[in-house]
Amino acid sequence: MSELTERQAEVLRFISGFYDAKGFPPTRAEIAGEFGIQHNGAQYHVEALKAKEMIMVEPNTARSIVLTMKGTDAILGTTADNVHAFAKEKKSERPHAGELCHRINKLINEYAGDLGTAEAIGVLEIVKSGLMRN
């Protein structure tokens, strides 16, 4: 999360964790309460994360903060480029599509306890984009 400030990284992780725990994103008031800041401070962090393309926000809609793939990558420390590079490296050992699905499913089940919903969806998107580029 090098392009983020420490506090922005904390807010991004909070948004992701809140979504995983509750099934919906936090409000700015909930972000403010978590970090002991004013509502406008929470708004500042939301706008900064939005400007850095870590989140998307639907205007005039409550609870509309959504992590982007870039935001998920920042939390997980992975990128679609890493997946693509791995797939390219292993091209000669490319498994049958059914075997690939089995391996992906096994990984998801193995890490399901470690990943929350938002992160798992992000991982699937990263894998999909990496494979489609091949």
Q: Could you report the per-residue pLDDT of 104-129, keeping only the tens digit for each? A: 666 666 655 555 556 666 666 666 65
CATH class entry, domain 6-72: mainly alpha
Mean per-residue pLDDT over the chain, rounded: 76
Give the H/E segment covering residue 118. helix 117-132
How is the chain split into domains, by residue range?
Answer: 6-72, 78-132
Average pLDDT estimate for 87-99: 55
Instruction: Calculate the alpha carbon distances from 115 to 16, 41, 58, 82 in Å.
Output: 10, 28, 25, 19
Rounded CA-CA distance 34/25 in Å is 13
Question: How crowded is residue 43: how many other Cβ atoms within 10 Å of its Cβ?
Answer: 14
Q: Could you report the per-residue pLDDT of 53-63, keeping only the tens digit for each? A: 999 998 888 88
Which pLDDT belongs to residue 108?
A: 60
